[in-house]
Structure 1
Amino acid sequence: MKKFKVGCVQATPSLFNKSKTMDIVLKWIKKGFEQGVKLLVFPESFIPAYPAGLAFGTVVGSRTEPGREQFREYWDNSVEVGAEETQQIAKWAQEYEMYITIGVTERDSVSKTLYCTLLYFSPHGKLMGRHRKLKPTAAERLVWGEGDGTTLSTFNTEIGKLGGLICWENYMPLARMSMYQKGVEIYVAPTADSRDSWNSSLIHIACEGRCYVVGSNQFIRKRDYPEHLQKELATDRPEILSRGGSVIISPLGKVLAGPLYHEEGLLTAEIDHDEIIRAKMDFDVIGHYARNDVFGFEVNGQPDMEKEE
């Protein structure tokens, strides 16, 4: 499929409510379908929301019982890979004939650890795979465990080579290189960063990888939290906890849609694989611009690019 439409969702989940957020996911899938979208990208930890502003009752050296209860509530509303929610999204992907990437907080049923995870679904009704965030940032480390190289996943699909990283993983040069070395063409970058500097980073990635970049973020306000959690939010945080900033960027760094701020919305743009070829005429990070005689690169455990079934 040389040309197709990609959609980037900027929306507000039902925070700490997995069931209601699934209804919201379906609403945006339907919007994407109505606009002819073949790849729909959701934000980081959309289910059950990125827990912006919460401290889970912690300071260095101390935890509280109410904080532990917040963690339990977050865990209860997190997603188990292979369970009901992932099965349902796979069915929707098939019904609405689109690829879907969505950020979730994933719970491990054995260890009980949570992970910030990016899931990939195909229009054939399959969960193609997942990527677990390699390095949670700052206080995120309390909530999420670390992924490893075995989930640095990329997929050779009908719409092109698909892969990506989550939020500040995109600041890790070697993590980016793990995507480039697989020839990624559509690079998804779900995030919780809504600063102007973030979009500058995504433009750099598009130019560096000569790939399309789709950056998706949530729009969240303090009042979007359940009432019993609003009083737990840090008092110095503004009413708007995440203003968004979702964006779609071409392989030469041109902003095709967005950035979108201070509201929900669906951004769309056309992906044209010929544009990737044009962009690689003068720069190809793993090809004619590489110096394999000077530099060596190896990723522990990274799987081969998976061929879509």
Structure 2
Amino acid sequence: MNNSRIVRAAAVQISPVLFSRDGTTEKVLQAIAKAATQGVQLIVFPETLIPYYPYFSFIQPPVLMGKEHMRLYEEAVIVPSPVTDAFCSAARTYEMVVVLGINERDQGSLYNTQLIFDADGTLLLKRRKITPTYHERMVWGQGDGSGLKVLDTAVGKLGCLACWEHYNPLARFALMAQHEQIHCAQFPGSLVGQIFTDQIEVTIRHHALEAGCFVVNATSWLSPEQVGQITPDEQLQRVLKGGCNTAIISPEGTHLCSPITEGEGMAIADLDFSLITKRKRMMDSVGHYSRPDLLQLHMNTEARTLIEEYKWQFTSDADVFIPKT
């Protein structure tokens, strides 16, 4: 593990181009190009930024949200596709690790999906949120444990979770136990108000302290005009404001730059990996401070499939099924 390096990271607070996959994609590509001029090596974008977070599901009852749900299907991202190819190219061109949230369409289902592109343009990971939250369950399917991975990337050992997955301590521990150096967190933003901003603050700082890693967190932001596009109801508009907290946190739980809680912007900070050792010297949750003789995590990392193929094996006793190799 290399703990003697410095990585420049950016967390982007950005507005989607509502109802447009192509429009949001172009805006994100422009942000990557801008970050490159500032020497950024890792860039993190918000949850399901492309095409946009399904805010409609938070303010509409299921019986009324069919039209908006169908529109999201039409604008969602297929993996692979020209959209993902564009980000492979951008990551390779700027030699930058890119962490991006999308609404993924897989045939007749949508998923809250996180993509990690390495600095050589390789799509390293496509992981789906394991449990959509509350209203989101009307929109997205569930992911599986195959995405709970920490990856060796050009900027170090990288893991990611989306929004309230951070309230699942075993999901976080699964990444911690793989010695995550940088944790990429994504939240929707422009939701629920100041209480959500405050909750994000507690959540990301706690994970940084507990994991002894950096946390790079990005949230989206909706302009007043966009809130009006989503709903003309002024009462409902109130819950589509605030809730933004784009920030970069050190392994000691401190902010490395000013957080962004309003408007669009880019939080940029240098991650000094020596701080990981400094923190873990005192408290290593998955090392000298753990007690595996008392407490262990058992997890299923297999990708969920609908069909498992078998073949016959003939033995002297009986004919039996064994998994096909």
Give the TM-score of the pair, scaled to structure 1: 0.90
Which whole-Å CA distance do the structure 2 matches of 1:213 and 1:119 have between them? 17
Deviation at 1:294, TM superposition (A): 0.6
Whether the 8 Å CA contact 2:111–2:129 is kept in 1: the answer is yes
Aligned to 1:307: none
Partner residue in 2 for 1:306: none
Which stretch of the first structure deviates more once superposed, 241-250 or 48-57?
48-57
SS class of match (1:37): coil
Among residues 116, 121, 125, which one is paired with 2:117 in the alignment? 121
Aligned to 1:209: 211
| Cα distance change of structure 1 residues 203 and 239 upon mapping to structure 2, 3 Å threshold | closer
Contact residue 3 and residue 271 of structure 1 kept, 8 A: yes
1:57–1:68 contact (8 Å) kept in structure 2: no
Kept in 1: contact 2:91–2:119 (CA 8 A): yes
Matching residue of 2:81: 83
- CA change 1:96–1:168 in 2 (3 A) is same
Distance in structure 2 (CA, Å) of the matches to 1:158 and 1:81:
22
Aligned residue number for residue 247 of structure 2? 247
Q: Which runs of 5+ in 2 are unaligned?
A: 190-195, 304-325
| Bigger relative CO (Cα 8 Å, ≥ 6 apart) | 1
Report what 1:167 is aligned to.
Answer: 163
| CA positional deviation for 1:146 | 0.8
Q: Which residue of 2 aligns with 1:184?
A: 180
How far is the alpha carbon of 1:226 from its aligned partner?
Answer: 8.2
How far is the alpha carbon of 1:117 from its aligned partner? 0.7
RMSD: 1.9
Query: Which residue does the alignment assign to 1:24?
Result: 27
Taking every aligned residue pair, what percent have the same amino acid on both sides? 33
Q: Is the 8 A contact 1:195 1:245 kept in 2?
A: yes
Instruction: Give unmatched runs, 5+ long, in structure 1.
Output: 304-309
Count of aligned residue pairs for this structure pair = 294
Counterpart AA for 1:230: T
TM-score of the superposed pair, with normalisation by structure 2: 0.85
Q: Of the two, which has the highest radius of gyration?
A: 2
**More displaced, 242-251 or 12-21?**
242-251
Structure 2: which amino acid aligns with 1:208? E
Q: Is the 8 A contact 1:212 1:249 kept in 2?
A: yes
Is 1:43 matched up with 2:63? no
Is residue 161–residue 186 contact of structure 1 (8 Å, CA) maintained in 2? yes
The structural deviation recorded for 1:256 is 0.8
Instruction: Write out per-residue CA displacement over residues 2-27 of structure 1, whole angstroms, 9 at most, x where no aligned residue.
Output: 11200110010101210100110011
Partner in structure 1 of residue 258 of structure 2? 258
**Could you list the per-position Cα deviations for residues 234-270 of structure 1 after superposition, in whole angstroms to 9, with x for gaps in the alignment?**
8433285345210100001011123211111011011
Tell me, yes or no, if the aligned pair for 2:46 and 2:100 is still in contact at 8 Å: yes
Alpha-carbon distance in structure 1 between the residues aligned to 2:173 and 2:88: 29
